[in-house]
Amino acid sequence: MATTHKTRMLIIGSGPAGLSAAIYGARAGMEPIVVQGLQPGGQLTITTDVENYPGFREVIQGPWLMQEMEAQAVHVGTRMMYDIITSVDLDGPVFTATGDSGDIYEGDTLVIATGAQAQWLGVPGEQELSGKGVSACATCDGFFYRGKKVVVIGGGNTAVEEALYLTNHSDEVTLIHRRDSLRAEKILQDRLFANPKIKVVWDKRVERFMEGENGELRALALIDTKTGEQSEILTDGAFVAIGHAPATDLFKGKLAMDGTGYLLVEPGTPKTAIPGVFACGDVMDHVYRQAITAAGTGCMAALDAERYLAARDFAEAVKVEA
């Protein structure tokens, strides 16, 4: 039988953004509900070594970090719901979400932290070697390949930015693109072509990620998109940089988005165009996409939600007195 769950702060998504919002919301007495979604814990649950999250001297594991965040959120008063939201009603003043279970979730405020997913090539070896030489985030994992050969796959802004970033760690960076020209902005292309550490391989499509004897990535099998010629390129690390897809299908036609589907917020805040509805983490951030920045915007969303409720409650109290 379906149940209705009510809260002062409803959070959709359970990555660093959603759980940080929950921690701050719970400590403010809002008794938040987190609906965890398809991937409880977010992208960090499929990330192995994490070396750039503040507070940990040694390398930590992504799944462990998210388990600790969830435990902290529960400890301070968050209710965790294992459900998948299938529809939302943002008309207010109470925001409603319906779960795949049939349960209804009602929140006086709504925090959207549904995140984004890296787009993958979908070729053999890609997922098998994820974390073993294959990555979708140079900023996250580039440090592990200092002094080694790396490749970046893609031709847009993301790929060029990843390649340029990797030159901080490697003197041998190869950009592989399936066409004979890049889609990236000209200023980024100029920087790429001027960098002596970067080589561009044109008209090549990755057919397979090849495993070495040590169980790590050894090489990429390529095919020429014009001639069909097959080749291999040896590498220690491969970064797939063909874009990210924000999880915003639920909000199409309900909230403003940019051309790539990321939710639009008031600059410098997590506030959407609907008062009481906030967006945080990768669902509204296509620039930084880091666990620490997601957590920071989650904190901001909770603080703004608290202020929104305080102002609303005060206005209602004044109205009653009048």
> Could you read off the pLDDT of 124-176 as tens digits, one per residue?
999 999 989 999 888 888 999 999 999 999 999 889 989 999 999 999 999 99
Active site residue 137: yes
User: Which residues lie closer than 8 Å to 205 by C-beta, 6 or more apart?
Assistant: 178, 222, 223, 224, 225
280 in catalytic set? no
Q: Which candidate in 141, 236, 285, 304 is catalytic?
A: 141
Q: Is 41 helix (H, G, I), strand (E, B) or coil?
A: coil
Domain boundaries, the chain: 4-117+244-321, 121-241
Tens digits of residue pLDDT in 171-225: 999 999 999 999 998 999 999 999 999 999 999 999 999 999 999 999 999 999 9
What is the pLDDT, as a whole number, of residue 48? Answer: 65
**Mean model confidence pLDDT for the chain:** 93
Known catalytic membership, residue 141: yes
Q: Identify the CATH assignment for 4-117+244-321 out of 3.20.20.10, 3.50.50.60, 3.40.920.10, 3.90.660.10.
A: 3.50.50.60
Look up the pTM and report it.
Answer: 0.78
Residue 306: per-residue pLDDT: 97
Q: Which residues contact 48 (CB under 8 A, 6 or more apart)?
A: 61, 62, 131
The per-residue pLDDT for 186 is: 94
Catalytic, out of 83, 89, 108, 140: 140
Looking at 49, 83, 91, 137, which residue is catalytic? 137
pLDDT at 250: 95
Assign 278 a pLDDT band (cuts: 50, 70, 90).
very high
The amino acid at residue 68 is E
Same fold, 4-117+244-321 and 121-241: yes
CATH class of 121-241: alpha beta
Element (H, E) at 49: strand 49-50
Residue 244 has pLDDT above 90, yes or no: no
- How many other CB atoms are found less than 10 A from the CB of residue 317? 10
Residues 55-78 as b or e (16 or more Cβ within 10 Å = b): eeeeebebeebbeebbeebbeebb
Res 322 pLDDT > 70: no
